[in-house]
Structure formats: C-alpha cells, structure tokens
Structure 1
Amino acid sequence: MSESSKDPVAMAAARLESAVDRLIATLSRPRPPADESDMVPRAEVAAMAERLDATIARLRLALAEELRAGEREGE
C-alpha cells in the first residue's frame, strides 16, 4: 500500500477531485430543456456552492499544514 493511500488528507483530496470530475461530467452531458418544475432553485445551488467552497478551503488549509509538518520532519 502506497504512503498516499494511508494519508487521510491525500485520500480526502482524491475524493474531492473525483467528485469534481463527476460533477463536470454530469454538467457536460447534453440535457433536454428543463421544465420549470424540474429546475433546482438558485438558492439551493448557491448554498451548495458555498459549502463546496468552504470544503475546498478547509482541504487547502489541511494540505498546507500537512506540507509544513512534513517539511519540519524532514529537517
């Protein structure tokens, strides 16, 4: 088992990248015109985007902390 597969931060980053790839693939597929009743309210989309942004920010912070800790261990 590789070192990155044991690292929870690396695993979280990989899961996030995978989720973003799935979102891009889903959004890239052609769709028939949606009926107004089939559309997701903009407020829900905005809330989901804010949660995703917050998650990415926390992951970036965790990755930066892990990198700094690794650099200190290597000294």
Structure 2
Amino acid sequence: MSDAAKDPVALAAARLESAVEMLVTVLSRPRPAPAEADMVPRAEVAAMAERLDATIARLRVALAEELRSGEREGE
C-alpha cells in the first residue's frame, strides 16, 4: 500500500475532493423549476456553505502542518 493510501490527511483530502466533484456533477444537471414547497430554505443552504468552508479551512491547515512536518523530517 502506498504512503498516500495510509495517510489519513491525504485520504481526507481525496474524499473531500471527490465529494466536491460529485456536488459539481449533480448541480450541473438541468432540473425543472422546483415547486416552492420543494425548495430548501436559504438559511439552511447558507449554514451548509459555512460548514463546508470551515471544513475546507481546517483541511488546508492540516495539510499545511503535514507538509511542514514532512519538510522538517526530511532535513
């Protein structure tokens, strides 16, 4: 098994990237206009976007820390 396959940070990054790609695919499909009852409230969408932004920010910090620790080990 490769080092990337064992690295939890790399696995998390790959899963997040895959999830984002799936979202893009789903959101790119043409859809009929939803009935008003089928619409998700804007507040829920905004809250989900904030959580996604926070998750991406935490992942970026974790990746940066992992890269720095790898550079220190290589010295």
Shared fold by TM > 0.5?
yes
Q: Which amino acid aligns with 2:18?
A: S
- Equivalent residue number for residue 17 of structure 1: 17
Show structure 2 runs of 5+ residues with no match. Answer: none
Cα offset for 1:11? Answer: 0.2
Runs of 4+ in 1 over 2 A off after TM superposition: none
TM-score between the two structures when normalised by the length of structure 1? 0.99
Cα offset for 1:74? Answer: 0.1
Cα offset for 1:29? Answer: 0.4
Give deviations 1:17-72, integer Å, cap 9, x for gaps: 00000000000001011100000000000000000000000000000000000000
Please give the residue correspondences for 1:49-68 in structure 2 after superposition, counting only pairs within 5 Å.
49-68=49-68
Q: Which amino acid aligns with 1:20?
A: V
CA distance in 2, matches of 1:66, 1:3: 13
Instruction: Give the secondary structure class of the aligned counterpart of 1:33.
Output: coil
Show structure 1 runs of 5+ residues with no match. Answer: none
TM-score between the two structures when normalised by the length of structure 2? 0.99
Cα offset for 1:10? Answer: 0.2
Identity of aligned residues (%): 80
